[in-house]
């Protein structure tokens, strides 16, 4: 029923545009007969709006994957490099939160592990909004930062890495079979502010999936039950993503091409010194306005990736 509703909404959008075109053509014919320049100007403005809307809908046709309309679970992990890499992970988190804000998406941090001195070691965020996963899947992979380190007394240039994972929020947990015997569940006290806000009971939950070694934690909720439910949702998403990666690897092997997704295979570089450049190594999309990108201006990179993927599939 949900899929039928989504398809009906998509068809209704295109039919609405068709009706608008028919109405404008009728008005245009009337304006030409009566020589009404004001009405002709209004029709021209409407035509420009229609052209933009058609472009948006055509672009959405690239988001036709089975999970593209789903909310996304975004995870960021600092790479090797200590404080420098953890600060880079924090910068990426801010970048994605700003991007989501620009698009009217809602975000909730499900789990966060702070760094020792600055930044974060890892963070998991739920992003909700139309086509959240369809857009954010372009960000999967290793992100590389080159800059003068603010944590180096000699102010030398450093290179940092962070891994970004993006998974669709699972629609139904029942689609992935998880045996209770395959789970190890630990509870502990949530980390956070001290004083009156300190947790007196163990509400945070850590779930280990023994067959795969996947570990997920959640400590943002006050209730242990809520944290367990959220952690299970993340686990299901990770297992579904693992199955999809296996299928993609099998397809790539049949084609004779298979590249391991590893830390050495960065998808994008952010260079802040000795010059400013952000470049996507998959599509060659680049810009010298690194400040705008780190402030959430990611659409050119996402759009170029989706167009590139369409070309790859063809």
pLDDT, tens digit, 9 for 90 and up, residues 202-220: 788 999 999 999 999 998 7
Residue with tokens 């021209």: 44
Report the C-alpha gap between 137 and 140 in whole angstroms.
Answer: 6
Q: How confident is the model at residue 286 (pLDDT cuts 50, 70, 90)?
A: very high
Q: What is the DSSP string of 35-69?
A: T-HHHHHHHHHHHHHHHHHHHHHHHHTT--STTTT
Say if CB 234 and CB 216 are below 8 A apart: yes
Across the strands, what pairs with 217?
A: 206
As its CATH architecture, domain 72-173+259-313 has 2-Layer Sandwich (3.30)
pLDDT, tens digit, 9 for 90 and up, residues 19-32: 999 999 988 888 88
Across the strands, what pairs with 204?
A: 188
pLDDT at 52 (0 to 100): 86
User: In angstroms, how far apart are the furthest CA atoms of the chain?
Assistant: 79
pLDDT at 191 (0 to 100): 66
pLDDT at 140 (0 to 100): 93
pLDDT at 139 (0 to 100): 96
Asked which of 2-6, 154-158, 184-188, 208-212 is least confident by mean pLDDT, the reply is 2-6
Q: Which fold has domain 176-255?
A: Double Stranded RNA Binding Domain (3.30.160)
Residue 161 has pLDDT above 60, yes or no: yes
Say if CB 160 and CB 142 are below 8 A apart: no
Report the C-alpha gap between 154 and 57 in whole angstroms.
Answer: 51
pLDDT, tens digit, 9 for 90 and up, residues 84-123: 999 999 999 999 999 999 999 999 999 999 988 889 999 9
Share of the chain above pLDDT 90, in %: 47
Say if CB 13 and CB 57 are below 8 A apart: yes
DSSP label of 263: T
Tokens representing 192? Answer: 């956070």
Residue with tokens 């028919």: 22
CA-wise closest residue to 304 among 287, 278, 282: 282
CA-wise closest residue to 138 among 96, 87, 101: 96
pLDDT at 255 (0 to 100): 46
| Sheet of strand 141-148: strand arrangement | 106-114, 120-128, 72-78, 157-168, 141-148, 266-271, 277-280, 286-287
Give the pLDDT mean for 119-137. Answer: 93
Across the strands, what pairs with 150?
A: none
Say if CB 138 and CB 268 are below 8 A apart: no
Say what angle helices 37-60 and 2-34 make with each other, to 10 degrees.
Answer: 160
pLDDT, tens digit, 9 for 90 and up, residues 246-281: 877 776 665 444 444 445 678 999 999 899 999 999
Report the C-alpha gap between 61 and 10 in whole angstroms.
Answer: 10
Average pLDDT, the chain: 85
CA distances from 65 to 69, 293, 301, 305, 309 (A): 8, 26, 19, 14, 12
Total residue length of the chain:
314
CA-wise closest residue to 169 among 216, 237, 219: 237
What is the reported pTM?
0.74
Tokens representing 254? Answer: 């049949």
Q: How far is CA 82 from the centre of its chain?
A: 25
SS3 label, residue 245: helix
CA-wise closest residue to 269 among 250, 293, 251: 293
């Amino acid at each position: 029923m949900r899929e039928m509703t989504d398809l009906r909404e998509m068809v209704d959008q295109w039919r609405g545009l068709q009706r608008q075109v028919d109405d404008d053509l009728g008005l245009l014919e009337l304006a030409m007969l009566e020589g009404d320049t004001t009405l002709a100007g209004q029709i021209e403005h409407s035509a420009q709006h229609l052209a933009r809307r058609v472009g948006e809908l055509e672009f959405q046709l690239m988001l036709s994957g089975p999970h593209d309309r789903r909310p996304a679970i975004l995870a960021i992990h600092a790479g090797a490099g200590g404080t420098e890499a953890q600060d880079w992970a924090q910068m990426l988190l801010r970048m994605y939160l700003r991007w989501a804000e620009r698009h009217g998406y809602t975000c909730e941090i499900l789990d966060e592990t702070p760094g020792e001195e600055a930044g974060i070691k890892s963070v998991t965020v739920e992003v909700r909004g139309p086509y959240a996963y369809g857009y954010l899947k372009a960000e999967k992979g290793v992100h590389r930062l080159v800059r003068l380190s603010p944590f180096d007394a000699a102010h030398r240039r450093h290179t940092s890495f962070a891994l970004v994972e993006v998974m669709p929020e699972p629609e139904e947990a029942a689609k992935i079979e998880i045996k209770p015997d395959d789970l190890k569940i630990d509870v502990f006290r949530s980390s956070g502010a001290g004083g009156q806000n300190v947790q007196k009971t163990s509400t945070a939950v850590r779930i280990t999936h023994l067959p795969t070694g996947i570990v997920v934690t959640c400590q943002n909720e006050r209730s242990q039950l809520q944290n367990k439910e959220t952690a299970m949702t993340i686990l299901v998403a990770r297992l579904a993503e693992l199955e999809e990666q296996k299928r993609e690897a099998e397809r790539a092997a049949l084609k004779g091409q298979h590249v391991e997704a590893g830390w050495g295979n960065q998808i994008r570089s952010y260079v802040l010194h000795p010059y400013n450049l952000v470049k996507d190594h998959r599509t060659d999309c680049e810009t010298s306005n690194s400040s705008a990108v780190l402030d959430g201006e990611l659409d050119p990179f996402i759009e170029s990736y989706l167009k590139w993927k369409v070309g790859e599939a063809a």
